[in-house]
Amino acid sequence: MTDIQTTAPTRSPSGYDLTPPDDAERSRLEADLSPEEKRVLLSHGTEAPFCGTLLGEKRAGVFCCRECGLPLFRAATKFESGTGWPSFTQPVDESHVKAITDRSYGMVRTETQCARCDSHQGHVFADGPPPTGLRYCINSVALSFVAEGEALPDPLGRGDGNA
């Protein structure tokens, strides 16, 4: 007997399917990650500052979750924070990024996770520029960049749009 999904997929206001991957899908997604990606995305690690491959990315496009492909940040919201990690003022859709209280290392911070697959992305701080005053400080290894006009990654086969 196979499991049948009895609830409708959860959709974000911008139309993306936020239904979490099932166990088989999650295993397949995680098997495709490098050891460094696994350390950051699955074990809440942090890449070294000024080393991420997307820090200097300036083309128009969108930054997606490296694990499940959900669009997280538009290039137009990226700014140079001087921190050594790609920084953004706001997500593509507020429902695509979850905020989790992080009390590790004797600090209280707000961790950001992908709302679909729960992968660790980075942290958000209230010291960013207008219009939001927020700085989403995100690990490059947690993202994949898609140039404007190119097809978004769709590792779950959900048919979610173009950049």
- Whole-angstrom CA distances from 52 to 4, 12, 26, 142 are 40, 29, 25, 10
For every one of its 163 residues, what pLDDT tens digit does the chain have, with 9 covering 90 and above? 334 444 556 889 999 999 999 999 999 999 999 999 999 999 999 999 999 999 999 999 999 999 999 999 999 999 999 999 999 999 999 999 999 888 877 878 899 999 999 999 999 999 999 999 999 999 999 999 999 999 999 999 988 765 5
Q: Quote the CA–CA distance of 3 and 130 in Å, as a whole number.
A: 47
**What are the boundaries of each domain within the chain?**
23-147
Residue 139 CA to residue 65 CA, distance in Å, equals 10
3-state secondary structure 31-75: HCCCHHHHHHHCCCCCCCCCCCCCCCCCCCEEEEECCCCCEEEEH
CATH class of segment(s) 23-147: mainly beta
Catalytic residues, by residue number, are 137
Query: How would you class 42 by CB atoms within 10 Å of its CB: exposed for 0-12, middle for 13-18, buried for 19 or more?
Result: middle
